[in-house]
Chain A
């Protein structure tokens, strides 16, 4: 097992354990973006937010996957933020679905979909105006392509060639169903690929994930479509609508752990 695979398995285990412990949380979307998230942080492409404004800024637009970000940051920081992971969604904790800036790693409070690109645009514009170095990366979802604000952000970022990278965690599912069965975003994905500086990868395949770094190092606005599987890493959760925000029972948790250890 590679170091990358070992790390992402551990992060996935922390995610499932936290949600099993709290009896609430959003599993599927957290598991789909783990590999890309871990890569971004482990390669130092983005900075961990710890109360100081970051040079390479990360905006988690799909805020319901906050546990994935928290677990990845905790892994990178060698358990420095273990309490935030262990107490996720538990009484008295600040960490939970859609973390605020009071929780390490979260420079922006999100949770309402379609806001991240606009926030990222503002950060990148400020860096540009102030001649500050640094990348701005926004992790969005395919469901957020439904939001009109995403189009507004895309057009402005392109017009001003802002140094923003929008990563779309294209896991093919929204809350209630598969995206294509509700309102397909396929034509929008085609539009993005055709009209923007766009990289398409398998968001679970390390040999493709490593293309992210040189791509982000290009200047200007760009898009990464990261094709992923919701619930990735736990076979019975993969591409299963139930696991958007279901909580595993004790037996399911045991089965999940067996796949992740």
Chain B
């Protein structure tokens, strides 16, 4: 069995060796794999110090010139502290970057709530032209880099630590899954939760959300109906976590009695009065 972070950084380092245009900015976060390969990537690696905001803006600036940029920090710091920089400089500014957060859910149980990545799921996945990606094994790490290669997509990658499962899963529109019972599904994210739910729900089908995307709705349309029992078991908050995210997809795809007249996920560039903008952009 292999360590998830090692698997991830082996892929990233190989990408950096293959493409000198790929840059890694570290917010004072180390990686054994990166250090071992420093001779090959030293001109593409920068420890920017404890400065999340500058790291994200700088990544956006590099992206604007054509560099492919990865930024690495602790999840709760690199996703929350510079959210304005992510929102403005990367997403609105059309400068796609990849942000790697160390920690998924309770990865750092002893470090307390400052380090618990349990409240950022929906705040990140609410941003247009982005995907929150939570790899959990070797195959999903490879898929993560495929998604990072998609044009104009900013990614938020949450990395757990420790040994990964060595099992085969199917993949469909952002989910890895294993069908055992068509009418009972358990949904989760990340390496640790996957280990947990595999043991806990032996007679359920299991779906692990790898990457948030509008395509996630297609998975629900294919496998979930009104009679499907769904359990969401995940290290995230009820409001703002995986439960909220999947409940939204459930409401949209199964035509529950909730009428959606909100906005599509797209920032508005045109200047109009408020009423005109509202009428123009609300979901018809």
Interface residues of A (CB under 8 A from B): 53, 89-96, 100-102, 107-112, 114-127, 129-130, 132, 148-149, 152-153, 155-156, 160
Contacts and interface: CB of A to CB of B under 8 A. Distances in A.
B44, B54, B271 — most chain A CB neighbours (10 Å): B54
A155 B49 contact: yes
A153 B54 contact: yes
A100 B92 contact: yes
A122 B63 contact: yes
Contacts of A127: 65
Contact of A94 (B49, B93, B269, B273): B269
A69 B44 CA distance: 34
B54 to A, nearest CB: 4
Given A115-B88, A152-B54, A102 B269 contact: yes
Contact of B270 (A93, A112, A115, A116): A93
B62 A122 contact: yes
A109 B43 CA distance: 29
Lowest 3 CB-CB distances: which A-B pairs, in order?
A122-B61, A118-B57, A152-B54
Contact of A108 (B53, B67, B89): B89
Interface string B71-112: 000000000001011011100111000000000000000000
Interface in B35-59: 43-44, 46, 48-49, 51, 53-59
Nearest to A147: B53
A126 B70 CA distance: 14
A130 B270 contact: no
A95 B87 CA distance: 20
A89 B65 CA distance: 29
B208 interface: no
Given A152-B51, A156-B51, A119 B65 contact: no
A93 B272 CA distance: 8
A100 B269 contact: yes
B88 A92 contact: no
A109 B61 CA distance: 11
Contact of B94 (A101, A116, A117, A124): A101
Contacts of A107: 64
Nearest to B277: A91
A121 B53 contact: no
Contacts of A95: 271
B214 interface: no
Contact of B59 (A108, A122, A130): A122
Among A148, A153, A156, which residue has the most Cβ atoms of chain B within 10 A?
A156
